[in-house]
Structure 1
Amino acid sequence: MEEITLYMRSIVGTILLTAGYMKIKNIHEHSQVIKEYRLIPNSIIPYVAFFLITIEIMCGIGLYLGVYKYFTLLTAFTLLVVYSVAITINLVRGRNEISCGCGGVLGTHNLSWKLVIRNIFLLLLIIWLWFKPFVFGNIENVLIRGNWLEISVIMIILISWLTLLVVTTSKLMSSINTQAQRLFE
């Protein structure tokens, strides 16, 4: 059962990490998608985009490492609820021709009720994970057991992700500043 929990954590973590990464690579496009939803003022879109991307990546890392279980799951759950509500509002408005902006391994599609159903499935998966212990593949357990090989592998992966995050975030912040300046011109 612990292996199944790790597998399910990896699925949700992969979805969030790849979505966040694809959005960072295409921050202008992602900001435009947020604008097309017509739910928030244009002046804060660059900041909201950065915030959502950061949350996706942090939740993905938290699920992979098995740390801050309840905070990570609650945040991922909230994020999916917000996305589902935004999609639903636009579907009710009859605006199904715009991109969902999902990205990552799930791809990007036009808005549809299928996306809402998919998000409900992911929400149920997060609820299931809430009640399962994160024993297998949990960095905290690895540190307690003191297996240096596992610790080294996890640290290499963590340092690689953090390096990627720092490099991409610096590019993203520069892009956000440029985009914000264009909005206020």
Structure 2
Amino acid sequence: MPSDCRTRERHLKEIADYRIIPQKYIFIFYIFTVFSEIYISCSLLINFQKNISILLGILLLLIYSLAIMINIKRGNTEISCGCGGLMKGNNIHSLLIVRNSILILILLLISTMGSVDDGEVPFIIKLISFILGINNLLALSILNDSLSILKIYFKK
């Protein structure tokens, strides 16, 4: 979700531009993605139902990647990726699939993390903690943007 609090109509248009979901289901997919991103962000922040949120995050990233691959294959690359943030306004390209794959690997890595004893903390755990810190910042950003979209939606 972009930081400029895009309107519901803009987001719906971006989903429709992919020409994958039938028009009558676009709004349902929109609601699913907004609430899924809110759920994932909150559950990762408070470590609640971590495995469910990780699976849901992987599912969303796979759906997004599949939609990008289909449109690249069709030659329909002049559409917004719908990524928001720093990538807002960018058209789809194959590096988005690479980025999504890296995010999926990070989610899989997070899913395998267990608790650490009070002894010496290994470097890999420190590195993963750093990545999780960045993940939390991204989760807060997604949550903020998703809540902003909901505010816009319910004001109408």
What's the counterpart of residue 73 of structure 2? 92
Determine the C-alpha separation between the residues in 2 that align with 1:123 and 1:89.
19
Counting only pairs closer than 5 Å after superposition, residues 132-147 of structure 1 correspond to structure 2 as 132-133=113-114
How many corresponding residue pairs? 130
The 3-state SS of whatever aligns with 1:81 is helix
**1:64 and 2:45 aligned:** yes
Q: Which moved more, 1:120-129 or 1:47-56?
A: 47-56
Determine the C-alpha separation between the residues in 1 that align with 2:61 and 2:4.
16
User: C-alpha displacement at 1:105, in angstroms?
Assistant: 4.9
The 3-state SS of whatever aligns with 1:102 is coil
Contact 2:7 2:152 survives alignment (8 Å) = no
User: C-alpha displacement at 1:74, in angstroms?
Assistant: 0.5
**1:50 and 2:31 aligned:** yes
What's the counterpart of residue 83 of structure 1? 64
User: C-alpha displacement at 1:22, in angstroms?
Assistant: 4.5
- Structure 2 residues not aligned, in runs of 5+: 117-142
Higher fraction of helix: 1
The 3-state SS of whatever aligns with 1:91 is helix
Determine the C-alpha separation between the residues in 2 that align with 1:25 and 1:99.
13
Determine the C-alpha separation between the residues in 2 that align with 1:133 and 1:27.
39
Higher RCO, 1 or 2 (CA under 8 Å, sep at least 6)?
2
Equivalent position to 1:128, from 104, 109, 125: 109
Note closer, same or farther for the CA distance 1:134–1:76 as it changes in structure 2 (3 Å cut): farther
- Identity score, percent: 30
Contact 1:24 1:168 survives alignment (8 Å) = yes
Amino acid at match of 1:133: G
Amino acid at match of 1:112: H
Give the root-mean-square deviation of aligned CA atoms: 2.7
Amino acid at match of 2:71: N
Structure of higher CA gyration radius: 1
Amino acid at match of 1:71: I
What TM-score results when the alignment is normalised by the length of structure 1?
0.61
User: C-alpha displacement at 1:107, in angstroms?
Assistant: 3.4
What TM-score results when the alignment is normalised by the length of structure 2?
0.72
- Structure 1 residues not aligned, in runs of 5+: 1-18, 136-160, 176-185
Query: What's the CA shift string for 1:137-167, capped at 9, x where partnerless?
Result: xxxxxxxxxxxxxxxxxxxxxxxx79x94x8
Query: What's the CA shift string for 1:52-92, capped at 9, x where partnerless?
Result: 11101110111111111100101001110000000000001
Amino acid at match of 1:77: I
Determine the C-alpha separation between the residues in 1 that align with 2:105 and 2:3.
24
